[in-house]
Amino acid sequence: MEYLSMLLASNAIEFPKLPFGPAVSWMLAIMFALSILTAVVDKATRQKRKRRKRSPAPKKAVTTKRTSSGPKSDEAILSAPFSDLSGAEFERLLALYFRDQAYTVKEVGVGGSDGGVDLVIIDKRGEKTAVQAKCYSVSNKVPVQTVRELVGAKRNHDCILTLLVTTSDLTGPAKAEAEQFKVEYWHGALLEQKLRSWGKWQPGKKIGRQEAAAKSEIRKAQLEVAAASTSITCGKCGAPMVRRKSKNGEEFLGCSKFPSCRQTKPI
């Protein structure tokens, strides 16, 4: 520092002779240096931004939906048969149901990667239940692994009680496991009964306008699955493909393991 001031005092650093003193010259020099620095920084950030634009974030795995429409509104969920609901929409239906039964509901597993628990429902006493929801076709029963996952994951959510809700049923081993680990479960018929007595769930709403022969879209879908089994197997998991109809009325082949496998194929 002493050296620098000595230099300054002795005027050892020569500036071009300008009509102002060394102090002003120094200021100009500093300003000049600063302007270069800002220009460099500016350019660097612009390049960074460009690079970010060129390499967009990796896309999330695209899940094939059965229909082209986006996620359903709550109203649409309440008037749709199970067979028209995605896993997330089914979870939403249950969330709406439990909320009306005076539970506080946390939707913890929104959209698939649920780690065994989809909802945590909390009753008035503060007792927490871990809920796993499986929207399966009737022929596709919930396997024992699902029960184990739920039992294993309940502690992550600070729950003691567990409830497995499915539109189909549990396999034999799954039932045995559920009884052993005190997992309460609602199979399809029990679930339907509970939802109907709730009153807000009216999957027949739209059907009123349709022909009288179509009493229940669910029944129709079940029959369709049974009748529509094809010899074509799923390219992804090897299960047989079944004929399905989209809401637009277009027929297509869908994996019978839906929704755990969402493979589809045009007919």
- Write out the residues near Zn ion by the rule CB under 5 A: 234, 236-237, 239, 255, 257, 261, 263
Q: How far is the CB of 132 from Zn ion (least distance, A)?
A: 21
Q: How far is the CB of 55 from Zn ion (least distance, A)?
A: 32
Q: For residues 87 and 50, what is the distance between their CA atoms, to the nearest angstrom?
A: 38
Q: How far is the CB of 98 from Zn ion (least distance, A)?
A: 31
Distance of CA 140 to the CA centre of its chain: 22
Q: Minimal CA–CA distance to 129: which of 183, 187, 198?
A: 183
Q: Please say which residue, 147 or 234, places its beta carbon nearer to Zn ion.
A: 234
Q: CB of 132 within 8 A of CB of 260? A: no
Q: Please say which residue, 202 or 233, places its beta carbon nearer to Zn ion.
A: 233
Q: Please say which residue, 79 or 263, places its beta carbon nearer to Zn ion.
A: 263
Please, which residues bridge with residue 166 across strands?
A: 134
Give kind and range of the element (H or E) at residue 128.
Answer: strand 128-134
Q: Please say which residue, 129 or 168, places its beta carbon nearer to Zn ion.
A: 168
Task: Give burial (CB, 10 Å; 0-12/13-18/19+) of 125.
Answer: exposed
Give kind and range of the element (H or E) at residue 236.
Answer: none
Q: CB of 77 within 8 A of CB of 202? A: no
Q: How far is the CB of 254 from Zn ion (least distance, A)?
A: 9
Q: Please say which residue, 72 or 134, places its beta carbon nearer to Zn ion.
A: 134
Q: For residues 133 and 167, what is the distance between their CA atoms, to the nearest angstrom?
A: 9
Q: How far is the CB of 235 from Zn ion (least distance, A)?
A: 8
Q: Please say which residue, 25 or 246, places its beta carbon nearer to Zn ion.
A: 246
Instruction: Give the full edge-to-edge strand order of the sheet including 183-186.
Output: 104-107, 119-122, 128-134, 161-166, 183-186
Q: How far is the CB of 164 from Zn ion (least distance, A)?
A: 22
Half-sphere exposure of 161 (CA within 13 A, CB side): 12
Q: Please say which residue, 247 or 265, places its beta carbon nearer to Zn ion.
A: 265
Q: How far is the CB of 63 from Zn ion (least distance, A)?
A: 13
